[in-house]
Amino acid sequence: MEINNESQIPIFMQVADALRDAIFTGAFGEDTQIPSTTEISIAYRINPATVLKGMNLLVEEQLIAKRRGVGMFVSIGARERIKEMRYSEFSKNYIKPLVLEARKLELTDEQIAALIKKEMKTDDTKSE
C-alpha cells in the first residue's frame, strides 16, 4: 500500500481502502488483530488522527471491532462483506466509466463486448 499525498482521495479514505484491501486479500485474517493506529501512522508517516479516522470508517462498516484493552480485530465475515460491497460498487466504479468513455468514442455495444472479451482472453493466457 502506498499513500499518495497528491491524490484527490483524502488520506483517511486511502487508509480505509488500504485496510479493506488487506482484509480482502487475507493479509489481515478474520478474527485476528490488525496493527495499531500508531504502527500504521509510523509506517506511512501520517498523522495518527488521520489513521484513526480511516479506521473508524471500517468500524462503522462493522468490518473491524474494538476489543477492550487489546486492540482492533477483524470481524468474522468481514471478507465476505467487503466482497459484497465491492460487487455492488463494481458497476458504478468500473462499468459506468467504461460505458461513458465508450459513448464518447461512439463505440457500438457489439464493439464494447468484443473489446471486453478480447481483454479477458489475453488476461487468461497471461495467468496461464
Query: Where do contacts with other proteins occur on this chain (CB under 8 A)?
Result: 3, 5-6, 8, 10-11, 37-38, 41-42, 44-50
- Least distance (Å) between residue 98 CB and other proteins: 19
Cell triple for 69: 484493552
| 44 versus 73: smaller Cβ distance to other proteins | 44
Q: For residues 48 and 71, which CB has a smaller minimum distance to other proteins in the complex?
A: 48
DSSP codes of every residue in 95-109:
IHHHHHHHHHTT--H
CB 25 within 8 A of CB 35: no
Contacts of 99 (CB under 8 A, 6+ apart): 112
Sequence letter at residue 121: K
Report the nearest approach of other proteins to the CB of residue 19 (Å).
Answer: 16
Q: Is the CB of 38 or the CB of 88 nearer to other proteins?
A: 38
Minimum distance, C-beta of residue 50 to other proteins, in the bound complex (Å): 7
DSSP-assigned states of every residue in 34-59: PPPHHHHHHHHT--HHHHHHHHHHHH
Q: How near is the Cβ of 14 to other proteins at its closest, in Å?
A: 10
Q: What is the DSSP letter of 28?
A: S
Q: Which residue has the cell 473508524?
A: 56
Of 12 and 24, which CB lies nearer to other proteins in the complex structure?
Answer: 12
